[in-house]
Amino acid sequence: MLFFFPLASSPICTVQGCHFRNLSKEFAAMGAQRVGISTDTVDKQAHFAQQRSFDYPLLSDVDGVVSELFGVRRGRLAKLRRSVVARQAVRRRRHTRRRGLLARLLPVRRVTFVIDTDRTILKVISNEVRASVHADQALRFLQNHNVPTIGEKHTAANQPPQQGKSEPTGDWFREPETADEPSLARPYTLAAARTNSDGNLALEAPVEALGTTAKPPRWRKNDVRGQILTYCAQSPSVAEIAAGLSLPLGATRFLVDDLAAQGYLRVRAPASDSMTLDERRELIRKTLRGLRAL
């Protein structure tokens, strides 16, 4: 359980953190670990945790790297956080619609991620005002979600896939998600926080998609891995995939390597030193085009 909160010791964030603390026994019974994170400094997080007697860790993401990778960081307006906090007492007396403006000025969105042991995001909960909803919905999801044990996972892995069985959808988000809406699961999350592939793929290595009719992937419609498979129909290089889909280069190399290991992609060896002059020029053009797109 990883929950983002905008500002340590603020009223709404205090309610959110304390509710996760109060449901400690319930989460422990489900085998769930709770971790809070914000862009506050380590000292502020330590003071917040000690003041409210939190029994779970609070992480400091001062530079906003983790928030950016999870897609919860706001834009340039986050720089106005200090002025907003200074006027927070005055704004409480104003109309409630001011809350929407205050939320847009905070550094990160209030989002909770329920993450499985294999680093798969099972549920995303987003609510700016009703802070207690995060712990309640996360606990309710865990109670209703049939998480198989290690033995059951072992048995399921050795069984052949059932034909015609669709992927369970469930209540993934608090609000219905449109098909064109980008996924909150960033490539960094899908790559399990890894930035380099085991095979050390060359940036100029051509990648082509293979036929997947025998074992079609069971990903969500907006999964970045599906975008990579579609883009590889043109046999681009690893660098062109990262540039064309606006993906981090390290995560792209890992995802391509992982998809190749699963049989969805084929990575051909890059051209050797015996290339002709025209082939070298074409390679340089593609490299420059990819760098400009980055």
* DSSP structure string for 184-230: SS-HHHHTTT--S-TT---TT-BEEEPP-SSS-----TT-HHHHHHH
pLDDT for 193 equals: 46
Residues forming the active site: 13
Distance from first CA to last CA of the chain, Å, rounded? 33
pLDDT for 253 equals: 83
Residue 8 sits in the same domain as residue 138: yes
Residue 220 sits in the same domain as residue 280: yes
In a domain, 173, yes or no: no
Residue 217 sits in the same domain as residue 144: no
CATH code: domain of residue 44:
3.40.30.10
Report which of 114, 272, 274, 135 is spatially closest to residue 204, judged by C-alpha positions: 272
Token readout for 61 is 């993401």
Single pTM value for the model? 0.46
**What is the distance between the alpha carbons of residues 133 and 139, in angstroms, rounded to a whole number?**
10
Overall domain count for the chain:
2
In a domain, 225, yes or no: yes
Q: DSSP strand E in the chain: where?
A: 2-4, 35-38, 58-60, 111-115, 121-126, 207-209, 265-267
Question: Which one-letter amino acid corresponds to residue 71?
Answer: G
Q: Are strands 2-4 and 111-115 parallel, antiparallel or unpaired?
A: antiparallel
- 42-52 vs 11-22: helix axis angle to the nearest 10? 60
In a domain, 66, yes or no: yes
In a domain, 114, yes or no: yes
CATH code: domain of residue 257:
1.10.10
Residue 149 sits in the same domain as residue 276: no
In a domain, 6, yes or no: yes
Residue 270 DSSP code: P
The answer to whether the CB of 51 falls within 8 A of the CB of 30 is no
Query: What residues contact residue 279 under an 8 Å CB cut-off, 6+ apart?
Result: 271
pLDDT for 243 equals: 80
Residue 149 sits in the same domain as residue 239: no
Q: Are strands 35-38 and 2-4 parallel, antiparallel or unpaired?
A: parallel
In a domain, 245, yes or no: yes
pLDDT for 171 equals: 45
Residue 69 sits in the same domain as residue 135: yes
pLDDT for 275 equals: 66
Give the DSSP per-residue string, 133-171. Answer: HHHHHHHHHHHHS----HHHHHHHHHSPPPTTPPPP---
Residue 113 sits in the same domain as residue 202: no
Say if residue 154 is exposed, middle or buried (CB neighbours under 10 Å; 0-12, 13-18, 19+). Answer: exposed
pLDDT for 169 equals: 43
List the domain range (segments joined by +) for residue 126.
2-73+108-155
SS3 (DSSP) at 175: coil
Residue 193 sits in the same domain as residue 134: no
Count Cβ atoms below 10 Å from residue 108 Cβ, excluding itself. Answer: 23
In a domain, 89, yes or no: no
The model's pLDDT over 222-251, given as tens digits with 9 standing for 90+, comes to 778 888 888 888 888 888 888 888 777 777
**What is the distance between the alpha carbons of residues 117 and 176, in angstroms, rounded to a whole number?**
25
Report which of 192, 264, 2 is spatially closest to residue 112, judged by C-alpha positions: 2
Mean pLDDT by 10 residues, the chain (294 residues): 92 93 93 94 93 94 89 62 51 51 72 89 89 93 70 53 47 43 48 51 79 65 80 83 79 84 81 67 76 68
Residue 145 sits in the same domain as residue 191: no
Q: Are strands 35-38 and 58-60 parallel, antiparallel or unpaired?
A: parallel
Residue 126 sits in the same domain as residue 194: no
**Length of the chain as a residue count:** 294
